[in-house]
Amino acid sequence: MVYIQQLFEQFFGTEWGPMLFVLTKDLTLIVAIVVPLLLGVAYLTFAERKIIAYMQIRVGPNRVTFFGIPWLRGWGQPIADAVKAMMKEIVVPSGANKFLFILAPILTIAPALAAWAVVPFSPDVVLADINAGLLYILAMTSMGIYGVIIAGWASNSKYAFLGAMRSAAQVVSYELAMGFALVCVLMMSASLNLGDIVNGQQGGSLLNWYFIPLFPMFLVYFISGVAETNRAPFDVAEGESEIVAGFHVDYSGMAFTVFFLAEYANMILVATLTSLLFLGGWLPPIDVAPFNMIPGFIWLLLKIAFMLFFFLWFRATFPRYRYDQIMRLGWKVFIPLTLVWIFLLGAIMQLPLSIRNMYPLNLWF
């Protein structure tokens, strides 16, 4: 790495060399994050179809394979879907605002990918190790809503517009509950840096992870995450049975696929954050011989996969919420619950040290 930096300095001079080196290094790292992420998204769609199929006693995609290998049947499906989407025409409705119509999917995917900049994958593997990491993620995820609103408005269609309005109200409501749930995590870890939050959960076993003292917050955060990504049972923004497909009714081909990619990238992001904040990130469940020999990255991947399974399970299990029920859950159940928990947590943190050192409080405080 030092050698490459020197090469840059020789080539571009001492003033521009280091800057261009950092730029090149970051761009390489960004590609190293985004490419596996998009592959993960592709195979998450496959996993979703397969898992939901088995839950409904069907088989799911079982035709497309690589080089005719029989035991890989179905595994080529995401690739085939991607190629099909790229070949399709992007139809722009005649009354639509063409510029915003094309801009909307880009505005949806950009924050979904940008949020990954501060996500740590192992103790030292992180693109931008910034102090305000969690705040940055909240800011990025809250920007994802613009794509949906603009898509709904630019399509010049009533169904799309209704979908956009529903989505805007829903996301803004659940962001509050999500933020308050995260405040509890911040109080426990006393840091906004994601790496420090995971390190705060260290201590021998899974009993130290934050999902035990913050169990209601864990549920609130994850359910709000499902609502933020507009997934079933909170998918009123799409609502096939009422408003056709919501905000992306008029999108086709790659423009539609980009919305799709953003939704799945956001799902993976919520699952990753839940694993990092509540399930101890890369820490092994028990810090003894066979478990702590597995690299932390594998543990993180397993936890992400575990949380992602819930997204798919929810979709196969629950009927869609009615709009007023969604609002009630967000405002009248989650927000009071989080406020009570913040108060409780604050009270426990003010207890004298001798009480906080007693079991089980000494595991977390």
Partner 1 sequence: MSFQDLVFYFFATVLVISALGVITSRNPVYSALLLVLSFVTCAGLWLLLEAEFLAITLVLVYVGAVMVLFLFVVMMLDINLDRLREGFWKWFPFGALLALILVTQMAMVLMGGEFGLNEMPRPPAQAADYSNTKALGLLIYTEYVYAFELAAVILLVAMVAAIALTLRHRADKRSPNPAKQVAVNREDRIRIVPMASEKKD
Report 82-121 residues binding partner 1 (CB under 8 A).
100
Return d(Cα 50, Cα 76) in angstroms, integer.
Answer: 13
Residue 125 tokens read as 């593997």
Q: Per rule CB under 8 A, is residue 24 in the interface with partner 1?
A: no
Q: Which stretch binds partner 1 (CB under 8 A): 54-62, 148-156, 233-241, 245-253?
A: 148-156
Q: How far is the CB of 225 from partner 1 (least distance, A)?
A: 15
Return d(Cα 135, Cα 271) in angstroms, integer.
Answer: 17
The secondary structure of 258-327 as a DSSP string is: HHHHHHHHHHHHHHHHHHHHHS-TT--SB-SHHHHTS-HHHHHHHHHHHHHHHHHHHHHHPPPPPHHHHH
Helices (H), 190-279: 194-199, 215-228, 240-243, 253-278
Q: How far is the CB of 219 from partner 1 (least distance, A)?
A: 16
Report 183-222 residues binding partner 1 (CB under 8 A).
192
Q: How far is the CB of 324 from partner 1 (least distance, A)?
A: 6
Q: How far is the CB of 147 from partner 1 (least distance, A)?
A: 12
Site string for partner 1, 36-75 (x = CB under 8 A): ----------------------------------------
Q: How far is the CB of 18 from partner 1 (least distance, A)?
A: 9
Size of the site for partner 1 (CB under 8 A): 32
Selected from 101, 121, 136, 260, the binder of partner 1 by CB under 8 A is 136
Q: How far is the CB of 180 from partner 1 (least distance, A)?
A: 14
Is 192 or 249 the residue whose CB approaches partner 1 more closely?
A: 192
Q: Per rule CB under 8 A, is residue 314 in the interface with partner 1?
A: no
Query: Residue 233: what are its φ and ψ, rounded to 5°?
Result: -90, 15
Return d(Cα 266, Cα 7) in angstroms, integer.
Answer: 38
- Find the length of the chain: 365
Buried residues in 151-160 as b, exposed as e (16+ CB within 10 A): bbbbbebebb
What distance, in Å, lies between the first and last C-alpha atoms of the chain?
A: 40
Residues near partner 1 (CB under 8 A) are 15-16, 19, 100, 130-132, 135-136, 138-139, 142-143, 145-146, 149-150, 153, 161, 164-165, 168-169, 171-172, 175, 192, 322, 324-325, 328, 332
